[in-house]
Amino acid sequence: MPEEQIIRTEYSDLMKKSYIDYAMSVIIARALPDVRDGLKPVQRRTLYDMHELGIRWDRPYRKCARIVGDTMGKYHPHGDSSIYEALVVMAQDFKKGMVLVDGHGNFGSIEGDGAAAMRYTEARLAKFTQMAFLQDLDKDVINFVPNFDETEKEPEVLPVRVPNLLVNGAEGIAVGMATSIPTHNLGEVIDAVKAYMKNDDISTRQLMKYVKGPDFPTGGIVVNKDDLLNIYETGVGKIKIRGKVEVEDMKGGKQRLVITEIPYTMIGAGIGKFLNDVCALVETKKTGDIVDISNQSSKEGIRIVIELKKGADVKNLTNMLYKKTRLEDTFGVNMLAVADGRPETMGLKKIIEHHVDFQFELATRKYKTLLAKELEKKEIQEGLIKACDVIDLIIEILRGSRSVQDAKACLTQGITENITFKSKISKKMASMLRFTERQADAILQMRLYRLIGLEIDALMKEHEETLANIARYEDILNNYDSMADVIIEELDAFKKEFAVPRKTVVENAEEAVFEEKKIEEQEVVFLMDRFGYARCVDTSTYERNREAADSENKFVLTCLNTGKICIFTDTGKMHQVKVLDVPYGKFRDKGQPIDNMSNFDSTSEEIVYMCDAEQMRFAMLFFATRQGMVKKVAGTEFQVSKRTIAATKLQEGDSLAAVAVINDNQYVVLQTRDGYFLRFPAEEVSEKKKGAVGVRGIRLKKNDELEAAYLFEDGEDPKAVYKEKEVALNRLRIGKRDTQGVKNRG
């Protein structure tokens, strides 16, 4: 056995090389489309496999499971779900500018419903795909490469005749890069390609006379037309799209908004989110003009109906929907594709340039193949015509030959030694024959009926056609204009048969501006019961029901409806909830769980204290933890915009026991679980930042912990209950902070 060879290398270099190899594999072989055919490998392999299986547009549908299995086994050694998802997307007319697969069955919906399992659905190639993507594969127009196990050959790229990268767009996430190309109108893109072929110095601005902008299958309105030139020059930018909103009159002078087209980015779950966002605008009282919303969309198209109150400001409400929901959204453009084996961000002209170069390459290879076949036919035809002129001699050669090899040698080289002739003249004439190998084979295989006069005429006519074809093919191959005319002729044929009118409107629209209804500031009372259900009532309602409100609710706070409520929990967090988010209504209304209005989680946290954020601004807050740590924190530290912050730092295993507003004229009483009470002046509590642990308030015995904290001033008579007995806090001996306190026997 040969000695084991150990290669010493830097670990970081090995990792770097491996990661780069992996990244390039993902970029080139999976995530990004090729600029020539606009397809990712999984799409290319699926379409080619369908072509090989004979699942053409004019033949019966076949089960998708068969297509997926065959593609996976022959060409794409990855999960079947990725192949089926690619197949489904190519069949969805709301995602693709031109569908490439004709699907039969449930292939999902624009509202986000998934396709049925592959065992239920069927598919076949679309006519457009068959004609524009898979023609001429037999004419050596593209290179074939070995598949993953080198048992099959697969096309390196499909001979696509239209700029599919623009027509169908692309979306993909690779390693460190992503592509996002919008769909375009087939007819417009073909016109742009023709314009470039006639003048390759054409500018992007001139190309945009043909390509007005993206043409999304969902329609909609592109509202930043002036930004498109820069986007198409650089290949990067943001396109603003809006849904199409129509106003319909109803009985009684009412109106309703009907959304008939949605932004492309709203496909799928976006529609459901839009409906929820509109409901949220009503619930949070951002608008009072909406009465009802319903989704009446069907196979015929999108129809989302928003019914309005009488006298509603339609324009202002429409602008609110544009601003506050995804009815106006942004499509991020990054026209990244694989060109010449490497990823490249390209503008409109560069993509068309690559496409045209590819078309000339396809046409060159196609017509070279056709020319070779015609030259071969010409050679054979000339041999047969010549043979007809000396047919008697050829028959004599055949009859006098002992083998096919002898006859062929005579026809090609004039060798007559092994052949018996009737006369010396025949032998001399036979020695002068010089047919080519192909001609000799054709003569030997020629049937006698070809000697009929009409057949000879047909042969002459066929020879003339062959000569005409050779002249035409040579002209195409040797003349740029002739080849360009052929390509343009094909493009015109595709445009005539498959082009459809533009769906997306491109314009410069005004910025959506709406006047948010100003909320009348008023004082309200926040109520939350022991089950965590919260609501707000006006102060007069609270005053009428004060006794019931105080006894039935765990927290009762007076605050402004424009303010916030701060929730301190035993985990040391502070959650904020806007008062406007809290349901406002009658005293006996149930309300909503506080969990639904904030980040508070009742399953893992317990509320220690609640207060009005505005009132806290001018206060000092007292904190006490289960391990006996105490501190004072200025209320201004909690004036933050975040919904959740860390209100205090806790030691391991500790939790927050009490929070309260404190002043230096008060006394603090700390009570432990084992009945120790410690009273000391509030001024002994150190002021700290909210991120500090604090100082020790009471010395705890082993396994004891702080249970409660009380604050009171001289002259007050507060009581605490320990083991069902009242303890008069103002009669406790005044001690010092960080001592053990007095044991209450209970």
What is the rounded (10 degree) CA torsion for 616, 619, 620, 622? -50
Burial of 28 (0-12, 13-18, 19+ CB in 10 A): middle
What would the two tokens of residue 490 be?
């094909």
Pairing relationship of beta strands 221-222 and 505-506 according to DSSP bridges: parallel
Q: Which residues sit opposite 566 in a β-bridge?
A: 576, 611
Region 50-79: what's the mean pLDDT? Answer: 95
- Contact predicate 212/503, CB 8 Å: no
3-state SS class at 121: coil
Compute CA 530 distance to the chain's CA centroid, rounded to the nearest angstrom: 44
Question: Within 10 A of 344 (CB to CB), how many other CB atoms are there?
Answer: 17
Distance CA 304, CA 297 (A): 7
pLDDT for 344: 92
Distance CA 583, CA 32 (A): 49
How far is CA 576 from each of CA 567, 579, 600, rounded to the nearest angstrom?
A: 6, 9, 9
pTM, two decimals, is 0.74
Mean pLDDT score of the chain, rounded to an integer?
Answer: 90
- Contact predicate 325/278, CB 8 Å: yes
Chain segment 625-651, per-residue pLDDT in tens: 999 999 999 999 999 988 999 999 999
Residues sharing a CB contact under 8 Å with residue 13, sequence separation 6 or more, in sequence order: none
pLDDT for 10: 79
Helix (H) or strand (E) holding 219: none
Distance CA 570, CA 655 (A): 5
pLDDT band of residue 712 (cuts 50, 70, 90) is: very high
**φ/ψ of residue 497, rounded to 5:** -85, -35
Distance CA 631, CA 624 (A): 7
pLDDT for 420: 81
Chain segment 454-510, per-residue pLDDT in tens: 577 888 898 999 999 999 999 999 999 999 999 999 999 999 999 999 999 999 888
pLDDT band of residue 714 (cuts 50, 70, 90) is: confident
User: What secondary structure, in 3-state letters, does 466-496 show?
Assistant: HHHHHHHHHHHHHCHHHHHHHHHHHHHHHHH
pLDDT band of residue 408 (cuts 50, 70, 90) is: confident
440: pLDDT strictly greater than 90: no
1: pLDDT strictly greater than 60: no
Distance CA 343, CA 27 (A): 8
Chain segment 261-305, per-residue pLDDT in tens: 999 999 987 888 899 889 888 877 778 889 899 999 888 889 999
Chain segment 325-368, per-residue pLDDT in tens: 999 999 999 999 999 988 999 999 999 999 999 999 999 999 99
Distance CA 318, CA 327 (A): 9
Residue with tokens 């509109």: 278
Domains identified in the chain and CATH numbers: 32-160 (3.90.199.10), 244-326 (3.30.1360.40), 354-496 (1.10.268.10), 523-743 (2.120.10.90)
- Contact predicate 411/432, CB 8 Å: no
Region 305-311: what's the mean pLDDT? Answer: 90
Spell out where 463-601 has E strands. 505-506, 523-529, 533-538, 553-560, 564-569, 573-578, 592-593
pLDDT for 182: 96
Helices within 653-717 (DSSP H only): none
Residue with tokens 């065959």: 70
User: Nearest to residue 131, comparing CAs of 386, 487, 497?
Assistant: 497
Chain segment 601-611, per-residue pLDDT in tens: 988 999 999 99
Chain segment 77-101, per-residue pLDDT in tens: 988 999 999 999 999 999 999 999 9
Q: Which residues sit opposite 661 in a β-bridge?
A: 621
2: pLDDT strictly greater than 60: no
Active site residues: 120
